[in-house]
Every structure is written in C-alpha cells, then in structure tokens.
Amino acid sequence: MQVKALACELPKESGQPLSRYSCQDLVREVTQRGIVAKISGRTIWRWLDQDAIRPWQHRSWIFPRDPDFQSKAERVLDLYQGLWEGQALGANDYVLSADEKTSIQARLRLHPSLPPQPKEAMRVEFEYERGGALAYLAAWDVRRAKVFGRCESTTGIEPFGRLVQQVMEQEPYKSAQKVFWIVDNGSSHRGAAAGKRLQGAYSNIHLVHLPIHASWLNQVEIYFSVIQRKVLTPNDFASLQEVSQRLLAFQDLYEQAAKPFEWKFTRMDLHGLLNKLKQTPPLALAA
C-alpha cells in the first residue's frame, strides 16, 4: 500500500528532480525510505498493475473554465441523440459537425520513400523541403455519415463561409427545416455575430457553439484523426497540390464505407464527469 501511495504522488512533492516515476525510480525511492530492504522493478510493476497504476504515463487535459460549460455541452450532446430543446428532431432536420484542420504541410522528401519489404518497414527520408501549407475545412453530417470538405490557403470567416455555402446550397440542406452546425469558438465562427451572419444568408441554419476548450465533443475531430492517420502520416508529398488532391479524394473513398460514429458520451456521462471534477479544485491542479 505504501508503494502504491508513493506511485500516486508527483515526484516534486518528495523533492525529486523528476517529472514522473519509472519502476526503477520507485525501487530506489522505497529502498532509500526504508519501506523495503530490497525489491525488484518487476515486483513493483506487478503490484501497480493490480490497480492499473502507471506513473510513467501521462496525458494532457484542460480544466473546464467556461461558466456555461454544462448547458452548452448538453445542447450538443442532445443533438447527437436527436433532440433539440427537449423535442425530437424531424426527418427534415440535419446536424453537421464542422471545423478546420490548419497548417497542413507538404513535405518534399529529399529522397523517395521506399516501400515495405519482407522484414523491413516502409522507409521515409528524414530530411525534407517545405512545399507550403494549407487548411482543410470539413463538415460531417452526424446522422447521414457524409463528409463535405475543401482546401483553402488559410482559415477565416470567408473560407468558412465558402464551406457553409458548399453544403447549404445543395439538397437536402437547401430545403431542410433546420440545419444545425456544431462549431468550436475559433475566430472563423465565433460568437453570436457569426450566427447572425450565417442566418442572414441561410434562414434555416442554426450555429451551435461548443463550450470553450471542448473540441473533444466535436465529432468532426474523429474524422480529422482518421485523416491524420491514413492520409497525412507519413507526410510525403511532391507538392501542395498533391496534398489537396489526396485529401479530397480520400473523402470519396471514406464515404464508401462510412457509418455514423457510435457516440456513447451522453448527458449522464457529462454530469458524472463534472461531479468528479468538482472534487478537484482548479487551484489545487495549478499548485
């Protein structure tokens, strides 16, 4: 129990010049403290594994600071469940999740990449020349599993407006009853002004903003993660035009087998998370 308790402390709390503990660090610490006379790293690992304690791992997070975090998040989660203001969405209502993937580089490798061989992985030259960068804007239809995307030289109000136009001027969105666009708080679509601007062009559009720092609630980010794995890694392109062509071609390939994401995080899960966070004051995290 003492070893597990030590593993659940930050090293700096004991004056250690470490950012995190490894098993061997814990071996040294527990023997110096006299908790045990002798112990192996394997034994410590086995003890910690019983409770899935892994002090050598870490992940980044942002403590919710939006005063309206719960209400804003609930609106988005309700839309994923087919609800708006307590009422079920109709057959002529649509939900789109949209965002921008910025600064996608074209890295021109100084030697051609070599394909995989028996007992040898694909090899990609480390050195490259920069061939420029572009932004990829996409909107994901949550219930129809359809993606709309475009490449632009940069992000901003006008490029995002062109994405909206690309979607809203075709059916079924053009004649839909309501079209909900879930977006974050980026400058391209921030605040009430963005909603009014878009509604001035399309009366059936409803811009729904996520809480601040809550892109993890935006389903299009799942699609972007697929793009990152399947299209952009490794980054090996002959030109910026090739980047654009591959991104847009992948949309067609992806839609051939795409299904709506199985979104399981609900209002109840949100309430449980927020109650858990209430037990950890923000100042304690920053100390």
Q: Tell me: do 16 and 102 sit in the same domain.
A: no
Structure tokens at 165: 């136009």
Strand order in the sheet with 205-209: 146-152, 128-141, 93-109, 178-183, 205-209
Q: Tell me: do 94 and 222 sit in the same domain.
A: yes
- pLDDT on residue 282: 55
Beta pairing class for 93-109 and 128-141: antiparallel
Q: Tell me: do 90 and 225 sit in the same domain.
A: yes
Whether 282 is covered by a domain: the verdict is no
Give bridge partners of residue 52 from the DSSP assignment: none
Q: Tell me: do 217 and 100 sit in the same domain.
A: yes
Q: Tell me: do 40 and 160 sit in the same domain.
A: no
Whether 280 is covered by a domain: the verdict is no
Query: Range of 44's domain?
Result: 2-50
Taking only the tens place, the pLDDT of each residue in 223-268 is: 999 999 999 999 999 999 999 999 999 999 999 999 999 999 999 9
- pLDDT on residue 281: 60
Q: Tell me: do 242 and 115 sit in the same domain.
A: yes
Whether 33 is covered by a domain: the verdict is yes
- pLDDT on residue 285: 46
Q: Tell me: do 108 and 226 sit in the same domain.
A: yes
Residue 136, burial from CB neighbour count under 10 angstroms (0-12, 13-18, 19+): buried
d(CA 206, CA 76): 12
Whether 278 is covered by a domain: the verdict is no
Give bridge partners of residue 228 from the DSSP assignment: none
Whether 127 is covered by a domain: the verdict is yes
Whether 56 is covered by a domain: the verdict is no
Q: Tell me: do 97 and 190 sit in the same domain.
A: yes
Whether 226 is covered by a domain: the verdict is yes
Structure tokens at 142: 């949550």
CB neighbours of residue 242 within 10 Å: 14
- pLDDT on residue 264: 94
Q: Tell me: do 128 and 74 sit in the same domain.
A: yes
Q: Tell me: do 96 and 201 sit in the same domain.
A: yes
- Look at the chain and report how many structural domains it folds into: 2
Structure tokens at 32: 């110096």
Mention every residue, 6+ apart, whose C-beta is less than 8 A from residue 176. 92, 93, 94, 204
CA distances from 250 to 97, 105, 139, 177, 215 (A): 18, 17, 14, 30, 23
d(CA 46, CA 31): 17
pTM of the model: 0.86
Q: Tell me: do 26 and 79 sit in the same domain.
A: no
CATH number, position 226: 3.30.420.10
Whether 262 is covered by a domain: the verdict is no
Q: Tell me: do 190 and 78 sit in the same domain.
A: yes
Q: For the chain, 287 residues long, give each residue's pLDDT as a single digit of tens.
A: 999 999 999 999 989 999 999 999 999 999 999 999 999 999 999 999 999 999 999 988 888 889 999 999 999 999 999 999 999 999 999 999 999 999 999 999 999 999 999 999 999 999 999 999 999 999 999 999 999 999 999 999 999 999 999 999 999 999 999 999 999 999 999 999 999 999 999 999 999 999 999 999 999 999 999 999 999 999 999 999 999 999 999 999 999 999 999 999 999 999 999 998 888 665 544 44
CB 252 within 8 A of CB 210: no
